[in-house]
Every structure is written in structure tokens, then in C-alpha cells.
Amino acid sequence: MSTLNEIKEIWKIADAVTFDVDSTVIQEEGIDELAKFCGKGDEVTGLTNQAMQGCMTFDQSLKVRLDIIKPTKALIEKFLETHPPKLTPGIRHLIAALHLRQKEVFLVSGGFRCLIRPVADILNIPTKNICANSLQFYFTGEYAGFDKNEPTSKSGGKAEVIRRLKEERGLETVVHIGDGATDLEACPPADAFIGFGGNIVRDFVKSRSLWFVSDFSELIKALDD
């Protein structure tokens, strides 16, 4: 079992940091916002909370929520036009600080690539460093499901992504940061986990996080402490 001081040392020497996106890098849950846009907000938000608290498997929750929303390609495009990303305060500075120290940054999310690309663009994170789910559409543009081969579509998927990143990219020390139950599952193989509560505090995560922060400035400061 690591101690808080050990986690802080790992944070300083890590060669890569993986971030959850919804309620961590951005202030909202992307799938909830998409559901509201489609008039299905109330139905979907409760399911998101259950998934984040670990009350149902992630893949179960993802399928049920998408079956409710049934987002078309045109609807996704309209949503992106009218809903620019709401970045969490301090995330720009934190990622800039990590890049300055030559640390690789990845976005690892149970959300969707199409919604995450604009976030990555703003933060200067290359598209190849997005690990997320892919929506599928019929040639008519109607919703056809999601790619079930993506590891992030399943419970335990973030751990699988980090395992692959270590194996395929030669990363030695990885820290994962996030707010939900699926983020806790990522450590191990992540060498350390930092719980984040700047947008929403999930007691299930806070109680199991040796290092839990609500402000990214704490992490920037700790890089040089």
C-alpha cells in the first residue's frame, strides 16, 4: 500500500499522466449534456450517477443510456456547434506544466471520441492520445451503436488502456487522475491514482483515494515541491 508521500513522489517522476475527461478535465458529464440536448436528460443522469458510484457495470450503463438517446450523426454535429467544452479551471495550466516537463498526457474516457476531440485540441493533446469510445452510424446517419471492441466501453477498460499504453508506448510510470469508480479501477496498472473533486465529489472515490484534490493548482505546486 502506497502512502501519500509515495504517491506525491510518483507524481513528480511519472513519464505519463492519464486523465479522465468528464467531470475532471471538463466540468460536465458529456453524455448527460448530450442527453439534455436530446430531451432525455432526466432519464440518463440517474444512470450516469449509478455508473460513477459503481452501482452497475459501465458497459451496462453505456448501452442503456445510448439506447435512450439514440444520437444521430447530424445531432452530434449540432451539439458540438452549440456546446463548446467547459474546461475545469486550472486544467490548461496543469497540462501545460506537464508538457513543459516532457510528460506525456492522455485522455482516457468512457465518453466518445467525437465529443473529446475539441477538448484535446484546446489542450494541445494529440488525437493519438485520446483513448475513448466510438459511436457507430448507419449510412443514413442514424445511430447504430458503439464499438464494443474499445476497452473503454467495458468495466475495467481504463486499466486495460493503461496496461496497453505501458506495453506499446514503453511508459514506465503512469499516474491516473479522475473522479469516478472506473478511474479507481485503473490503479493498478497505473502506478498511482489521484482522486479529483473539483466539479463533483463522489464519496465512494474520495474515501478510497490517498490523494484527493479539488484544485489542480495543488498538483502543479506538487510537481516542484
The residues that are catalytic are: 20, 22
Specify whether the backbone of 188 is left (phi greater than 0), alpha (psi in -120 to 50) or beta.
beta
Q: Quick one: which of 20, 72, 205, 35 has its CA closest to 47?
A: 35
Alpha carbon distance 41, 101 (integer Å): 40
Specify whether the backbone of 170 is left (phi greater than 0), alpha (psi in -120 to 50) or beta.
left
- For residue 150, count other CB atoms closer than 10 A to its CB: 18
Q: Would you state the torsion angle of the CA atoms of residues 11, 17, 20, 26, taken in this order, to the nearest 10 degrees?
A: 90
Alpha carbon distance 61, 122 (integer Å): 29
